[in-house]
Amino acid sequence: MLKVVSTKQVRLGMFIQELKGAWIDHPFWKKAFKLEDPSDLKKLQASVIKEVVIDTSKGLDVEELNEVVASVTSMVVDVTVEVLDIPIPLPKPKQISAAQEQTQAKKVINASKKAVASMFHDVRMGKAVDTEVAMQLVDEIAASVDRNLGALISLVRLKNKDEYTYMHSIAVCALMVALAKELNLTDAETKQAGLAGLLHDLGKAGIPIEVLNKPGALTEEEFSLVKLHPERGHAMLIQASILDEVTLDVCLHHHEKMNGSGYPHKLKSEEISIFAKMGAVCDVYDAITSNRPYKEGWEPGVSLQRMAQWTEHFDDRVFKAFVKSVGIYPIGSMVKLKSGRLAVVIDQSPKSLLLPIIKVFFSTKSKSRIKIELIDLSKPHEQDSIVGHENPSAWGINDIHEIWSQYEIW
């Protein structure tokens, strides 16, 4: 049974189904959860949220709770927990397969694409950006990431040149959220990272579209113009009344490099914030794995290998965490097996980053397509294994996207 109660009535043991009020004012990342941590109770009652919806079928009711605490009215919550000393871990979000998430991820992407395009249009017209709408997008994208990161990221890679900037913003938002979680950042910091990723390229709204989508190499003058987008974006964010420090920082500094060769300020190492370092990795990864007007996107696994070779470009700790968040063999990667067959990764295994779920489709021995076979390399009986990444173009395979994106839900 759902019931609206005042935050003053909320106590440990209740299941919070919904937080009333604006999303940006919520003190928690999750919308629905069981309240089991005293610090979370303090955060809720100290926030501007005045009412919540509780689900009495999943947690305590107001009346039930009053009976429980009647005999210990002199004890405060903190003392009670300290005496009992029974830490209760918060439930982790339920993971589902990439195939199961694909339909919902498509809906999230389509809605987000329209909203981001509208934001860029508003900025071009000198209008303010609706922060509430932006944070709702972050929420929807993050929810998809929680269910299965690979599904949304893989689908976002399939963008055309006309929608690149908008889809890139969605992808970087999702990657920033996943990376923030891998780095064990707080919920508030994870929200900030997601918003920063969504708005990091806002400055491109001030760059002529014909330059952004130019099919050939940019002239020196054109490249200098493109390099102005971080500073223009920073100014646009301020004009649009978005003053979040993390968002402003990532917008301005996501092209800085560890060795000081980046732009616009040539910052080095410790001069670059953790969020800007995260933005640099996420921005580059999505850019090089996506098809652009001037080049085809690289296969995800090959992209990670090449990024690892760019010494002094990325922060080492952040890059390693990023690899762990997307998987050593990201969805869409083509790999070679010990058996001599080629396969594409279609999902990650919760058991090991080295043992993904794959679709076998090609024999290197006969150099021809073979009957498609789905294999979960984490299964105890499975004898085959991955020996390394393979570049699809080296084998004349140009439909790798279609191969991984068309599979059955197990």
Within a domain: 120: yes
pLDDT value of position 9: 86
Q: CA-CA-CA-CA torsion for 342, 348, 351, 352, nearest 10 degrees?
A: 60
* Least confident range of 73-87, 95-109, 217-231: 73-87
User: What is the distance between the alpha carbons of residues 212 and 218, in angstroms, rounded to a whole number?
Assistant: 9
pLDDT value of position 90: 40
Mean pLDDT of the chain: 85
The answer on 298 and 185 residing in a single domain is: yes
User: What is the distance between the alpha carbons of residues 195 and 247, in angstroms, rounded to a whole number?
Assistant: 7
Residue 407's pLDDT band (cuts 50, 70, 90): very low
Question: Which residues, at least 6 apart from 387, have a Cβ–Cβ distance to it below 8 Å?
Answer: 335, 336, 337, 338
Q: Provide the CATH number for the domain around residue 306.
A: 1.10.3210.10
Q: What is the pLDDT of residues 46-97, one digit of tens each?
A: 887 888 889 888 888 875 444 433 333 333 333 333 333 333 334 455 678 8
The answer on 106 and 57 residing in a single domain is: no
Whether 371 shows a pLDDT value over 80: the answer reads yes
pLDDT value of position 25: 59
Q: How many domains does the chain have?
A: 3
The neighbouring-strand residues paired with 259 are 268
Would you state the structure tokens that stand for residue 369, as one six-digit string? 């397509």
The answer on 342 and 222 residing in a single domain is: no
Whether 240 shows a pLDDT value over 50: the answer reads yes
Domain boundary (326, 356, 390) is at: 326
The neighbouring-strand residues paired with 341 are 363
pLDDT value of position 30: 63
- Of 252, 229, 228, 256, nearest to 242 (Cα)? 252
Question: Which residues, at least 6 apart from 256, have a Cβ–Cβ distance to it below 8 Å?
Answer: 262, 263, 265, 266, 267, 271, 272, 276, 280
The answer on 306 and 274 residing in a single domain is: yes
- DSSP annotation of 135 reads H
The answer on 16 and 148 residing in a single domain is: no
Question: Which residues, at least 6 apart from 115, have a Cβ–Cβ distance to it below 8 Å?
Answer: 133, 137
pLDDT value of position 409: 35
Within a domain: 362: yes
Within a domain: 410: no
Residue 279's pLDDT band (cuts 50, 70, 90): very high
Residue 6, helix vs strand vs coil: strand
Whether 395 shows a pLDDT value over 70: the answer reads yes
Within a domain: 296: yes
- DSSP annotation of 364 reads T
DSSP-assigned letters across all residues of 42-63? HHHHHSS--EEEEETTTS--HH
Helix (H) or strand (E) holding 334: strand 334-337
Percentage of the chain with pLDDT > 70?
88
Computed from CA positions of residues 119, 124, 125, 127, in that sequence, does the dihedral angle turn out positive or negative?
Answer: positive
User: What is the distance between the alpha carbons of residues 177 and 245, in angstroms, rounded to a whole number?
Assistant: 17
Query: What's the rounded mean pLDDT across residues 225-249?
Result: 93
Q: What's the pTM value of the predicted model, to 2 decimals? A: 0.75
Whether 410 shows a pLDDT value over 50: the answer reads no
Highest mean pLDDT among 68-82, 113-127, 131-145, 360-374: 360-374
Highest mean pLDDT among 16-20, 209-213, 286-290: 286-290
Highest mean pLDDT among 25-34, 160-169, 174-183, 292-301: 174-183
Within a domain: 91: no
Within a domain: 172: yes
Query: What's the rounded mean pLDDT across residues 382-390?
Result: 92
Within a domain: 89: no
φ/ψ of residue 68, rounded to 5:
-65, -40
Whether 354 shows a pLDDT value over 70: the answer reads yes
The answer on 210 and 141 residing in a single domain is: yes
The answer on 161 and 61 residing in a single domain is: no
Within a domain: 383: yes
Domain boundary (52, 84, 116) is at: 84
How far the first Cα of the chain sits from its last, in Å, is 34
DSSP-assigned letters across all residues of 226-293? HTTHHHHHHHHHHHTT---HHHHHHHHHTT--TBS--SSS--BGGGS-HHHHHHHHHHHHHHHHS-BT
User: What is the distance between the alpha carbons of residues 34 and 14, in angstroms, rounded to a whole number?
Assistant: 6
The answer on 225 and 108 residing in a single domain is: yes
Domain residues for the domain of 345 are 334-405
The answer on 144 and 64 residing in a single domain is: no
CB atoms near residue 360 (< 10 Å): 19
Domain boundary (53, 84, 115) is at: 84
The answer on 244 and 118 residing in a single domain is: yes
Question: Which residues, at least 6 apart from 355, have a Cβ–Cβ distance to it below 8 Å?
Answer: 349, 376, 377, 378, 385
The answer on 108 and 68 residing in a single domain is: no
Whether 392 shows a pLDDT value over 80: the answer reads yes
The answer on 282 and 154 residing in a single domain is: yes
DSSP strand pairing (51-55 vs 15-19): antiparallel
312: left (phi over 0), alpha (psi -120 to 50) or beta: left
Residue 180's pLDDT band (cuts 50, 70, 90): very high
